[in-house]
Structure formats: structure tokens, C-alpha cells
Structure 1
Amino acid sequence: MPELPEVERVRKIMEDVLLGQEIKEAEVVEDEIVLSGQPAESYVAALQGRTVTGLGRKGKFWWIEFEEAPVVFGHLGMSGWIRELGNDDFRLKEHGEAPLVDENGRPRFLKMMLKAANGRKVALTDGRRLARLWLGDSPDTDPRVKKLGRDCYLEPLSTEEISKIFAKKKAPLKAVLLDQAIFAGIGNWLADEIMFQAGVAPKRPVNTLSEAEIEALRVKMGDILELSVRAGADYAQFPNDWMFHVRWGGSKGAETIGGHQIIREQVGGRTTAWVPTLQK
């Protein structure tokens, strides 16, 4: 699933292509699920002929703003992606090696394609139909955005703030890190990476963590986000000693990291990769 670094990459792609540009053509494919029950024509009306004034993001949500409402909001789901056509062949882990275009040269699994006045195009694709688009008046008033906690990259919580939140909860650390009402933007691989680098076990009830452990989690969260966002979520640029490179593949994935056994199990309802000898 695209997490904060991947969604920030998508936001930057759209900003580079669309900001200050009139959208000359908007193609939106009818899909009751992805379009949140709204007809494609409502999105075309909200996009075509309008000049983009801002591209925003909070957590895993992104949006396209204009001088007036409506705003077009989006979420990439499990494997949705936005790329500039002809200038971006980046792939998520979930994308595998399948062709990005069909026999006619059109993006496979196309949901939305926007052509700017300068001729450049961006396309939203999603083979699993778990991405979402919706219309709203403003990021400040949108119900989905308002449910999010602070963005972990743009507005990181302090150690003191995290400590106060953890003191009131008994849930396992993994589950709390994935709570978007607290840590907006953190997903499965980020949570596992943060816990691994901080040396804290995913099953630990958060109200049992020491201040030093919470500080380690905060610092590692900031470091990991800073590096991964700066790298444009290009996985090849992630340090070789990151859990990221070996956590995938389920039971067929790597068995060790640095000579230590990797355990894969369900924690907080999500598959979790961790190292008991290094995480306490």
C-alpha cells in the first residue's frame, strides 16, 4: 500500500505537471467504487477547464485545489498510482513486472487522466479498485481529512505528546502506529521499519513503553520519513540495512537480517515482520 513517502511522491508529480496549469482535458472512467458512488461526469466538470492552484496532502490523502470549490480528493488504496505519462516508470512492490500500458498504448487500469495546457499528462491507475476519489469543499472541512491526526512528516508529534497518548492506551504498538487518527501517513512497512530501528517489539502495550523508547520511536520515525521522502520513495535509495528490503514475501521472504531471525505474524490485524532478538 502506498504510504506517506509514496503519496508525497505522487503529490509532487502532480504539482510539477499541473500547478498553475489549466486542465484542458479530463478523462474519468466510470467506476462506482473508485468514484465513491458519483458519476464520472461530476469529476470531469470539477476538473476540465479549471486552473490548478494547489496540490495538497495529509497522511495518505491527497487533493487538487482550484480558486473555488469543489476540491478533488484522492486516496491510492492498496496499489493505486499516479504517474506522468511518458516520463515515469516507477513501480510499487505491488505492481510487479506487468506492462504499464495496454496494446493500444493506454495506461492499464486507467481511472483518471488529466492533460494540462502545456501538453503534459498524469494518469491515476488502479487494478484492484481500492483507490478512492471524492469531491468536497475544502481540506479544512472535508470529513475524511478531519478524522486524521497530525501528518507525521509535516507536523510530527513531540515525545511528550506521544507519551501522553500512549499513557491512555493498552493496545499493541503496531496497532497504535497504524491509527491514522494519531499517526497520519504511517502504514505497514513504515511501522515495521520504525519499530525495528527503534528496537521496540510490535506487541508491546504502548502504556508500558519508557520515555527513552518513545523518544527512540519519534527520532526513528522522523529520520525514516525524511530519508524516504527525500529519495522520492525510490526503494533502491533506501539504506541496505533497512528492514524494508527483507520484510516482503510472507513465508517466502528473507529469514534473517544481519544474522537475526525475522518473525512474520499478525499484530494489530496486519502482517508484521520483526526481530525478537533485537526488538524488546
Structure 2
Amino acid sequence: MPEGLEAEIWRRSLDRLVGSTITDVWADGRSADPGVSSMLPGSLITRIDRLGKVVLIATDGPTVGLHFGMTGRVEVHGVAPIEQLEYASGRDLAEWDRLRVWVDDVSTSEPPALRLNDPRRLGKVSIDPDLTHLGVDVFAIDRSSMERATQSRRSPIKSLLLDQSAIAGIGNLCADEVLWWSGIAPQRPANSLTHTERAALVTAIRRRMPIMLRRGGSTMGMLSPDVRSAAGPCQRDGAALERSKVGGRTAVWCPDHQH
């Protein structure tokens, strides 16, 4: 499913729409806030932002929030920056479209400038979304914000990393990845981490997330989907990887170097 890395790839691809005027909008009423189709035409796209897994299209009118479910994906001028999400269908049907946006240099007889396609309809399109419930963005995490997030939480550290109100933008694959790099077991209580371990976790996030982003997203880590499914030897020490349930989510980790 898309994580903050995929949302950032889509944000960057949507940057080319800045300066364009929205001329027409079609939205699936089952996935979009009321007014998406009527409020946006005539609006100038001024900026593309992101917080966590949410992409924000700012205009001189309302702001549009693109919230991605497990299988949501974006096309910009007919090009998909990410062709297919891991674990998602390889098909692309028009009936799965949830949002289509045309701008002033695109005729409505042509493919839309922006197309949001989601076969499972788990995401949504919002107008002026309230994101105050989200925590610090994954690309803005530092030692102070990590300390605030962990110091009073007894939940497993993996569960905390997945809690978007604590850190926005980390999903299941990235959580396992940064815990693997920092040598921290996923089931450890968050408030049991030492100052050194918190620093190691912040370092892993700040170093590995940009690397995975450049490589193509959350599937491009050491614990790739192929490695996760095989659960073979750890690429660091050769120990057998374990697959456990932590907070209802599958965690893949190395019991030899993650403590």
C-alpha cells in the first residue's frame, strides 16, 4: 500500500500542474467530499504539498486532499509515476477512477491532467482537510520529536511508528526497514528505548527514507517484498528472519541483531 514515500513521488509529479487553472472536474461521490466537482473549476493551482500520506493540492480557492487507500494511485497527463503498487491489481479500469481533473491546456476530450484510480475505494478526496491530528512528517523527524513521541508510550515501537498521530508517513514496510537498520526489535515498548536507540532510529529514518525514495518507494529497502515473503537469512548477519504479529500487523525482523 502507499506510504509517505509513494505520496511524495506523487506530490513531485503533480508539481507540473502548478500555475494551471482547473477547467473541469469529475469525482466519484462515494469517495469524494460534496462540492469537489462544483467548487474547483476556475481555481488556479498554486502549490502541491504533502503531510504524511496525504497529498494537498492548494489553489486560490479550496485545498484538495488526496488520501490514498491500499490500492490508490495517480496519473498525471496520462503518465503513472508508479505503474503498480505492491499487492495491488495490475489492471487499470476506468470504472475504478475516483477523481479526474482537467486544466486549461487539456481538452476534456483528452486524458485528464490528474487521474486518481483506486479499485478498492478505500481512499478519499477531501476539500480543505483538517490534518491537525497528524504528527510530525517522516521527513521532518528529529531527536526531540522522536523523544516526545516515545517517552510516554508503552505500545510496541512498531505500532507507534505506524501511528500517524505520532509520525505521519511511515507504513508497514518502512517501519520494519528502519527498525532493522537501527537494531531495535519491533515489539519493544516505545518508552523502553534508550537515548542512544532513539538517536539510532532517527538516523535510520533520515538516512534510509531518502535512499528508498530515490530508488522508487517503500518496496525498495533491504526488507523488500521478496525478502519478506521468503523470510530467509538476514542480509546483515545471516540469521533467519522472523515473521511476527505486532499490533495486528506483520513484522519481519532479525532476532539476532534487533533487540
CA distance in 2, matches of 1:129, 1:2: 14
For each residue in 1:217-247, what CA deviation from the matched residue of structure 2 results, as whole angstroms up to 9, or x when unmatched? 0000011211123344285xx36xx112435
Distance in 1, Cα, partners of 2:91 & 2:201: 39
Number of the residue aligned with 2:136: 150
* 2:109 aligned partner: none
Whether the 8 Å CA contact 2:244–2:251 is kept in 1: the answer is yes
Residue 164 of structure 1, CA deviation: 4.2
* 1:84 maps to 2:76: yes
Instruction: Say if 1:22 and 1:52, in contact at 8 Å, map to a contact too.
Output: yes
Query: What is the rounded CA distance, in whole Å, between the counterparts of 1:29 and 1:171 in structure 2?
Result: 38
Counterpart of 2:14, as a letter, is M
Distance in structure 2 (CA, Å) of the matches to 1:168 and 1:254: 33
Pairing partner for 1:228 from 197, 212, 222 = 212
Separation in 1, partners of 2:12, 2:147: 33
Decide whether aligned partners of structure 1 residues 75 and 175 sit closer, same or farther in structure 2, where only a CA change above 3 A counts: same
Aligned mates of 1:182, 1:217 — CA distance in 2: 14
Assess, with a 3 A threshold, how the Cα gap between structure 1 residues 234 and 85 changes in structure 2: closer, same or farther. Answer: farther
Q: Tell me which amino acid in the other structure corresponds to 2:29.
A: E
Aligned length: 251
In structure 2, relative to structure 1, the CA distance for the partners of 1:121 and 1:248 (3 Å cut) is farther
Per the alignment, in what secondary structure is the counterpart of residue 45 of structure 2?
coil
Q: Given the alignment of the two structures, is residue 243 of structure 1 paired with residue 229 of structure 2, yes or no?
A: no
Q: Structure 1: where are the runs of 5+ without partners?
A: 137-141
Among 100, 115, 124, the residue aligned to 1:123: 115
CA contact (8 A) 1:20 1:52 kept: yes
Check if 1:109 corresponds to 2:96: yes
Q: Write the letter of the residue equivalent to 2:126.
A: W
Instruction: Check whether the contact 2:102–2:113 (CA below 8 A) recurs between aligned residues.
Output: yes
Would you say the 8 A contact 1:20–1:51 is kept in 2?
yes
Residue 255 of structure 2 corresponds to residue 271 of structure 1: no
On the 8 A contact 1:246/1:257 being kept in 2, the answer is no
- How far off is 1:157 after superposition? 2.4
Displacement of 1:108 in angstroms is 5.1
What is the rounded CA distance, in whole Å, between the counterparts of 1:48 and 1:5 in structure 2? 29
Q: Does 1:255 align with 2:235?
A: no
For residue 49 of structure 1, the aligned residue among 42, 46, 51 is 42
CA spacing shift, 1:86–1:132, aligned 2, 3 Å: closer
User: Which residue pairs with 1:12 in the alignment?
Assistant: 12
Residue identity (%)? 27
Q: Give the drift of 1:182.
A: 1.5
The AA in structure 2 aligned to 1:128 is R
The match for 1:66 among 47, 50, 59 is: 59
Matches of 2:85 and 2:11, distance apart in 1: 15
Shift of 1:208: 1.6
TM-score where L is the length of structure 1 = 0.82
1:109 partner amino acid: W
Cα RMSD for the two superposed structures: 2.1
Answer yes or no: is the 8 Å Cα contact 2:136–2:166 preserved in 1: yes
CA distance in 1: counterparts of 2:218 and 2:135, whole angstroms: 26
CA distance in 1, matches of 2:231, 2:203: 27
Is the Cα contact below 8 Å between 1:150 and 1:157 reproduced in 2? Answer: no
Pair 1:164–1:56, CA change in 2 (3 A):
closer
Post-superposition CA distance 1:27-65 (Å, at most 9, x none): 22232xx225x3xxx211122222111111101112111
